Amino acid sequence: MSFNKSNNTIGWAIGLLASLVYILTAEPTASFWDCGEYIATAYKLQVGHPPGAPLFQLIGRFFSLFAFGNEHLVARMINYMSAISSGMSIMFLYWSIVMLAQKLFNSEKLAEKATQIAVVAAGIVGAAAYTFSDSFWFSAVEGEVYAMSSFFTAVVFWAMLKWERNADNPTSTRWIILIAYLMGLSVGVHLLNLLALPAIAMIYYFKKYPKTTAKGIIISLLAGVGLVAIIMYMIIPGIVSLAGKFELFFVNGLGLPFNSGTVVYFIFLIGLIIFGLRYTKKKHWIHGYTAVLSFMFILIGYSSFMILVIRSNAGTPINENSPKNAISLLSYLNREQYGDWPLTKGAYYNAKVKEYADGNPVYTRDDKSGKYIITDKKESQIPVYDDKDISLFPRMWSRQAHHIREYKAWAGINDPGNKRKPSFGENLRFFFNYQLGNMYGRYFMWNFAGRENDVQGRYDRKNGNWISGIGFIDEARLGPQDKLPITRQNKANNKFFFFPLLLGLWGMIYLFQKNYQRGIIVSLLFLMTGIAIVVYLNQYSPQPRERDYAYAASFYAFAIWIGFGVLALYSFLQKFLDARISAIAAGTLTFLLVPVIMGAQGWDDHDRSERYTTLQLAKTYLDSCEPNAILFTYGDNDTFPLWYAQEVEGYRTDVRVVNLSLLNGGWYVDQMTKKVYDSDPCPISFSEEQYREGGIDVIYMIEQEHIKGPVNLKELFNILHQHPEKLQYPTAGGLITYFPTKNFKLNIDKEKVLATGTVPENKKDYIVDDITWQMSGQGIQKNNITMMDILAHNDWERPIYFSSTTGTSAYIGLDDHLQLEGMCYRLVPAKLPDHDGYPGFVNTDILYDKAMNKFDVDMNPGLYLNEDNTRMAMNLRNVYGRLITSLLKEHKADSAATVADRIIEMIPHESVPFGYFSRDFADAYFEAGQTEKGLEVFNKQLQSISEELEYYFRFEGNLANKWDSEIQQDLALLNNLNQKAKKYKLGETAEETEKQFSKYYERFLNEKYKQ
């Protein structure tokens, strides 16, 4: 068999084996964060969050067909799509390494068997190392866009190497056209693929200009960066922007029907392309002809976004931003709902605003007039700063208080009142410490050195949470690594002993020494998909989740260097051994030390094959609600999994999930006014003119002296609808809508709330005449306005719930009228007692039934539960813990013990160690007379707390300081156990608990651990 045939066979085999690895470890259902939304929108071709991923959804829909009508298999099929996309990425990585490596040897050397073995070994080791790299493996087993995005990066880079190999062939431009088409397609998945262009430009330059110069290299680099900018800032938004301008001119200017301008524009664009092709062909201008063809194929690939417009007009249940025409599509593509951030110039967090400038007006289709009308002028919405406050390369730009605190901590700024402008040095310190070090360097080390754990934020600012496995290095950075307590034993603790890192660095040096052009090409791919993203994203701290998935292509480039590390070792061994033996030895040794160790270490924390917790917890949220309920959520993890459960699995479609963060958009309010599946429209009284952008976006609260006591909320809305002028207040900027109070009330019909079961008969004495509450702040934004509209006009017809994970600010002061019924609080027209310091009264009858008969979560010790899962597990434990506490107060010890049995069965100590949210489990058993079970739980708690404290007190110097809060919490829990041991007269156990508490409390007071 020829080398080419065997090389192709090996590439396919590696791709299939990698795909098999990812299929075997893929999650069978949705994961947390965006996966639930992506799977749901792919399954029914709906419109997801901006800037959209229509090609991902289209291919995802194709893969979902292999579920053959079984909705429970849909997520698995779409996750397999990611697995296969990732496997094919590995295949193209292998071929790319081989092609790059072959350029290091002349034809005579390449004909030698030893060289061929070494080259193939380099490809296998590099590809296999990337197969088991942490970040890539993470994306490969879930239904997210990053796996498919990596595939496009891999195939585009490979295609450019194929062009280089065939550049002297007259038909070689077909590879350029293919790359253009793939680039256009990739935009329909994610924009990350575009960052490969500078490396591609350099391949072109080195091939076309054998005599390279520093000037030529710089020009080529700038050309590649320019191509990225042209596609990102001109072609992608520009095509749609021009379509919008044509649409406005033809409809508003010429009075033609809607969409006529868009049709004319695309006819004009097609005509322009045809003219360009004919003209360049006539003039025999090859480069011009290729450029026009490339532009055309980029547009053909980019045309996948028409799916979003088509499906948005179909009125799909998930229809984010509702991009129904060219005008609204532009806003969607520009991600305007997420705001903007400075890149090269801007103001720091404490710069004073000089004035406010107008933004781009919002046009809305008005069927009555047959025109697009401006519904929001966006007047005075963009802050303008004094020139003296504008800085170059601003990294600390967010004005939110918790972001400012983090900026100052990372940059070492001591300025309590934010009185001074941060220095440029402090700005760079934040950039290097947080953005570059923490949000890239830490991830890089995860992939090629090792990872301490998967707990976001559980590390100090200096050292991060990467680990190597080399004892003295890890202990100097992170403290003791032996005798870890059960609470610190983490499946994501992966140790690679620096082997991947050292091999990659050796490969990088070797490549530059052998062929600096290849070194520059791979370096550009590495930097543009890594450091360039860091600079562009300009992230604040803290981020809501880890972001390593964004840098997977950079780690792809490093995997190429790992492959060249094999050749470096091969070259070294030839000084002592036969060439063929050197090749076999280099390949075998590096394979065992890098991908084998990476795979063995990483399997247990990437294997999600039996994990159904996301779906189970989503069902728990939905099952917390009574039929036909309205459920207010806020974040991704209490919304997207619920969407998945409803849209894909058809579960509890009677519950209307209302996301409060999306409710600030008029498009989303509009969707809440429509029936979806078994869920009736939300009772919203506002008209479209009022809730759309530019309508009533905010209502100010300007208290009037003559208003005494709380104001009936429904009456206020009636005035807004019937006599809006009475609630308008003149200001220098024009009339604003206001409420003359911050105190509101909802009247209660006692008979009705009893008849609808909103308040059970045995709690009727707690029903109040009206619910009263006070709002904070100076104004009410659209999301809370709409929520209050729903509350005012629901008339207790439908149950109203709040997700328990939204945060108390979402309850707008209604905390005293909430009833815990699972993972959600129900709003009840009663003043219920005894909240135990939490929002929401526990109705033991209702919650007991749901906890025992409806909620079903399986978190057995064999599953890998990452931080998202364990956090949700603790939330669910808290619900059961509160139920146990309430049952004990009602002297229902047997029921409390039964509840403890259930939650421990679902989430055992071995999966998520007992902690704060399980502190009353032992009490339930002791009170029920089940002493043996009580002691078992008690001793596990005592052991884990003692192990933790012993571990923390082993730290010395600055490393000890990071555990202060944990030590104090553990001491409080240990004291709680101490009191229980005395209360229940546990004999020797009580003596041991007292001894443990005294020992650690004395050590804490001594504070020697801090020295």
**Is 576 exposed, middle or buried, given 0-12, 13-18 or 19+ CB atoms closer than 10 A?**
exposed
Please give the Cα distance from 331 to 230 (Å, whole number): 18
Structure tokens at 17: 């084996």
pLDDT range class, residue 338, cuts 50, 70, 90:
confident
What is the residue type of 381? Q
CA dihedral sign of residues 200, 202, 203, 205? positive
Containing 501, the helix (H) or strand (E) segment is helix 499-514
**Residue 752 has what pLDDT?**
86
Interval 110-133 mean pLDDT:
96
pLDDT in tens, 953-997: 888 776 777 788 888 899 999 999 999 999 999 989 999 999 999
**Residue 760 has what pLDDT?**
80
pLDDT in tens, 645-670: 999 999 999 999 999 999 999 999 99
Average of per-residue pLDDT values in the chain: 92
Q: Per-residue DSSP letters for 264-310?
A: HHHHHHHHHHHHHHHHHHHTT-HHHHHHHHHHHHHHHHHGGGHHHHH
**Residue 448 has what pLDDT?**
97
**Using omega within 30 degrees of 0 as the cis cutoff, is the peptide bond preceding 51 cis?**
yes
Interval 191-207 mean pLDDT:
93
pLDDT in tens, 350-376: 999 888 888 888 898 988 899 999 988
Interval 917-946 mean pLDDT:
93
Name the one residue in this structure whose structure tokens are 């709002």: 775
Interval 430-452 mean pLDDT:
95
Query: Which is more confidently placed, 194 or 765?
Result: 194
Check whether 1007 has a pLDDT greater than 70: no
Other beta carbons within 10 Å of 483: 10
> Is residue 384 a contact partner of residue 355, using CB atoms and an 8 Å limit?
yes
pLDDT in tens, 556-595: 999 999 999 999 999 999 999 999 999 999 999 999 999 9
Q: How far is residue 301 from each of residues 143, 177, 178, 182, measured CA to CA in Å?
A: 22, 11, 10, 7
Interval 19-37 mean pLDDT:
97
pLDDT range class, residue 758, cuts 50, 70, 90:
confident
Check whether 809 has a pLDDT greater than 90: no
Q: Per-residue DSSP letters for 129-177?
A: HHHT-HHHHHHHTSSSHHHHHHHHHHHHHHHHHHHHHTTTSTTTHHHHH
CA 62 to chain centre: 24
Q: How far is residue 277 from each of residues 184, 231, 296, 349, 697, measured CA to CA in Å?
A: 19, 20, 10, 50, 49
Share of the chain above pLDDT 90, in %: 77
**Residue 126 has what pLDDT?**
98
Task: Name every residue whose Cβ is closer than 8 Å to that of residue 472 and which is 6 or more positions away in sequence.
Answer: none
Please give the Cα distance from 674 to 665 (Å, whole number): 15
**Residue 957 has what pLDDT?**
72
Name the DSSP letter for residue 810.
G
**Residue 806 has what pLDDT?**
87
pLDDT range class, residue 460, cuts 50, 70, 90:
confident
Structure tokens at 975: 């004291």
**Residue 1009 has what pLDDT?**
47
Interval 153-179 mean pLDDT:
94
**Residue 834 has what pLDDT?**
63
Check whether 1008 has a pLDDT greater than 60: no
